[in-house]
Structure 1
Amino acid sequence: MTTQELKHIDAALPSPLERIVSRFGTFLRSWGPARWKSLAPGLAVAATAAAAALTIASLWPGASTLLIAIIIGVLLRNFVPLPAVLTPGLNYAAKTLLRAGVVLLGYQLLVSDVLSLGPGMILVVVCIVGLGITGTLLVGKWLGIGPTQRLLIACGFSICGAAAVAAVDGVIETKERREVMTAVALVVIFGTLMIPVVPAAAALLGLGNYDAGLWAGGSIHEVAQVVAAGGTIGGAALGIAVIVKLARVLMLAPVMAVISVQRRRSMGASDTARKPPIMPLFVLCFILMMALRASGWLPPVALDWSKTGQNFLLAAAMFALGTGVHVKSLLAVGFRPFVLAAISTVWVAGLALGGVLIFGRPV
C-alpha cells in the first residue's frame, strides 16, 4: 500500500471529536417517546428512593446516603415483588446514573488545591493509589477471588469508593451485577467503620490535627466518610483531609486509562469492535468538569449544585443496584471478599500513615 493510499485512509477516519459528536447525536436520537415510556417508571422509583435516602441521611448525622439507598433497594427486592415494568429504568440508573455521578464528582476538584500539598504528599497519594491497587489485587488473587471482583474492590478502596467502582464498571462492562453490588457494599461498610476508627487511632498515636487529617484523607474510602472523620478530629483536619481525598480522586482518570489500555491488549483481534476506548467518554467528561471548575466561569453556587446532584445520582444508582440483589445471592458470595476488603482497608491505611509520618507536619 502506497503512502498516498495510507494518507487517504487516514483522512477518511473520523477524528476523536467527530466520534464524540456522532455518539452524542446517536444518544439524542435514541430518546424518543418509546424510550421515555420504558425508562420512566423505574427512574421515577429510583429518584423517589434517592430522595428518601438523602432525607434520612440529613436527619441522621453520620449516616451514609449510599448505604441507606442500598438498604432500601435490597429490602424492596427481597420483600416486595417489583413489577417487570421497572426493570429498564432501574438498569439505566444502575449504569448510566452511576457514570453521571462520577462526572459531577470532577467539578469538586481543584488541581491548585492538590498541588498545595507539596511534592512529598502528592507522591504519597500516588503510592497509596498505585500500591493500594497492586497489593489488593495480589491478595485477592491469593484468596482465589475472580479478577473482576478483586479489581472493583481494589479501585474502590484505593481511589474513591463507589465512584471508582462505577468507573471501573464503565470501562470493563461487568457482566455480573452482583460483583459491582458487592464491591459497593464493602466500600460503604468498611469506610463507615473507618469514621470513628481513624480519629481514635490518630489520638492514640499522638498525631496532631493536621497529620490526622492527612491520614483520614489518605485512608478512608468515600469523600463523605472523609468529611465525617475530619469533622470528628476538628481543627485543621477537615480541610486538609478533603484535599488529600480529592487528590486520590484525581487519580481516577489515569487509572481508568491504564485499565482500558490493558483490557484492549487482552482482547484478540476479533474483538476489535468491542474494545473499550483508551479514554472512556465519561472519564473525559470527568476531566472536562475539572477544567470547567478551574476556569471559574460558573458561580460559586454551582459547586453546591454539583455536590447535591452527585449525591442524588449516586443514591439513585445505589438503590437500583440494591434492587438487583437477592440476599441469598449476596450471602453466597462467601467470606473471601470480606476478608479482602478488611486487608485492603488496613493496607491502604498503613500506606497513608507511613506517608504522613514521613512527609506530614504536625500542628
Structure 2
Amino acid sequence: MTLTENNGRAAGTTSPRPAPAATPATPRRIPGLPRSLPGLALAACGVAVAEAVHLLLPAVPMLTAAVVLGITAAHLPWLRHRVRGTARPGLTLAGKRLMRLGVVLLGLKLSLDDVLGLGWATVLMVLAVVVATFFGTLWLGRRLGLRGDQPLLIATGYSICGASAIGAVSEASGSDEEDVATSVALVTLCGTLAIAVLPLLHQPLGLDDAQFGRWVGAGVHDVGQVVATAQTAGPAALGEAVLVKLMRVALLAPLVAAVALAVRNRRRADAAGAGAGAGEGAAAGKRPPLLPLFVVGFLAMVVVRTTGVLPTAALDGAREAQELLLAAALFGLGSAVHLPTLVRTGGRVAALGLCSWVVIAGVSYAGVLLTT
C-alpha cells in the first residue's frame, strides 16, 4: 500500500496540488524595485556629494563630479563589493531610467526661437561640426579596433552633448553597460580638461568674447562644461555658448532616430541571413522604435518651452531636477567603469579621445571664423 501511494504521488494522481499560497505572486508585480533600493540610495548619496563638490569648487560641474565619484566608489576597497553586488541593480536602474528622464527635461532648455535667432550661418556651422566630429570619430574608433559600440557612443558624446547623448543613443542601440560607462568616462574627462585648456587659448587665438563663446558652445561636450568654460569670458560669451550648445542638443533626436533605424535594418539583415521565417518574425517583433518614447518626450518639452507657457519658476525647478537626475544617472554609469579593463584598451581609447578633441576644436574654430 505504501508503494502504491508513493507511485500515486509520483504520478500526481492521488496527491492534491500544493495550496496557491505556497507560491505568492505579489512580489513579482514590482519587478526588481526592492533590489534597486540600495543602489538608488547610494546614487542619491553620490549626487549629494557631487553637489557639495560643485558648491566648494564652482569650476567643477556637478555632472563631472558625479561621474568621478561613481568611478571612485567602484574601486574603494570597502565599497566596491557592494557596488558590484547588492547596489548593482539600483545603479543600473539609475544609469538607464533616470538618464531618460533627465534627457526629457533637457528639452526645456531649448527653444526653437533661440535656435532660429542664431542665424542660418551659425546653424550650418553647427551642423558641419556635428557631422565632421561624429563620422570622423566613428571611422577612427573602428580603425583603432575599439570593442562593441564604443566608437558609436564616443562619437555621439563628442558631437552632441556628452554623457546625455551617450545615454540616449545607448538606449536605441542596446549597448553593453561597460561600453557605455567607458565612453562616458572618456567624454567626461576630455570635457573637464576643456574647462582648463580653452580659456588659455582665448586671447592667443584672437577671438573676441562672442566668438569665444560660440567656439566653446560648438566644441565642448556637456552643457555644464560649456557653462563652466564660457563664463570665464563674461556674460556675452556665456550667452553665445549656451545658444550654440543647445543647437547641438537639438540634433539629439534625429541622431537617435538614425541609430534606431540602423539597428532595425541590421536586425532585419541578420534575420534574412539566418533564412528562417520564424527567426525573422521574432527579430521583427523586437525592432526598436524609430523614435524612443523618451526622445518624443524631449521634443515635446522643446515645444512646451517654445510656447512660453511655463513660468520662470517652473523652468528653474525643471532645470534643478534635470541636473539631479543626470547626476544620479552618471554616478550609476561611472560605477560600472572597471579601470583594469579600461587600462587594457586605454591607449586606443585615449588616442581616439585626443584625435576627436582636435577635430571638434579645429572644425568649430574654423566655423566660428567663417561665420563672423
Q: TM-score, normalised by structure 2?
A: 0.85
- The residue correspondences of 1:135-146 to structure 2 (distance < 5 A) are 135-146=136-147
Aligned with residue 63 of structure 2, among 51, 61, 66: 66
Match of 1:114 in 2: 115
- The residue correspondences of 1:158-173 to structure 2 (distance < 5 A) are 158-173=159-174
Q: Secondary structure at the match of 1:311?
A: helix
More deviation, 302-311/114-123: 302-311
Match of 1:277 in 2: 289
Q: Secondary structure at the match of 2:87?
A: helix
More deviation, 91-100/296-305: 296-305
Match of 1:44 in 2: 41
Aligned with residue 54 of structure 2, among 57, 66, 85: 57
- The residue correspondences of 1:201-280 to structure 2 (distance < 5 A) are 201-268=201-268, 269=271, 270=280, 271-280=283-292
Alpha carbons 1:190, 1:341 under 8 Å: kept: yes
Match of 2:316 in 1: 304
Alpha carbons 1:132, 1:158 under 8 Å: kept: yes
More deviation, 51-60/159-168: 51-60
Tell me how far 1:235 sits from its aligned partner. Answer: 4.5
Describe the superposition over 1:284-316 as per-residue Cα deviations: whole angstroms up to 9, x where unpaired.
111011111122222111221122111111111
Describe the superposition over 1:60-95 as per-residue Cα deviations: whole angstroms up to 9, x where unpaired.
121132232223222222222307332221111111
Tell me how far 1:320 sits from its aligned partner. Answer: 1.4
Match of 2:329 in 1: 317
How many residue pairs get aligned? The number is 331
- The residue correspondences of 1:342-361 to structure 2 (distance < 5 A) are 342-360=354-372
CA RMSD in angstroms, aligned pairs only? 1.9
Q: Which has the larger radius of gyration?
A: 2
Structure 1 unaligned blocks of 5 or more: 1-28
Amino acid across the alignment from 1:294:
T
Alpha carbons 1:141, 1:147 under 8 Å: kept: no
Structure 1: distance between partners of 2:55 and 2:195: 17
Match of 2:189 in 1: 189
Matching of residue 96 in structure 1 with residue 94 in structure 2: no
Q: TM-score, normalised by structure 1?
A: 0.87
Q: Secondary structure at the match of 1:146?
A: coil
Describe the superposition over 1:106-147 as per-residue Cα deviations: whole angstroms up to 9, x where unpaired.
111011111111010100111111121011111112222235
Structure 2: distance between partners of 1:90 and 1:82: 11
Structure 1: distance between partners of 2:40 and 2:248: 31
Structure 1 runs of 4+ aligned residues shifted over 6 Å read: none
Structure 1: distance between partners of 2:151 and 2:30: 40
Structure 2 unaligned blocks of 5 or more: 1-25, 272-279
Structure 2: distance between partners of 1:221 and 1:34: 35
% identity of equivalent residues: 41
Structure 1: distance between partners of 2:68 and 2:91: 15
Describe the superposition over 1:166-188 as per-residue Cα deviations: whole angstroms up to 9, x where unpaired.
0111100112x221111111111
More deviation, 202-211/142-151: 142-151
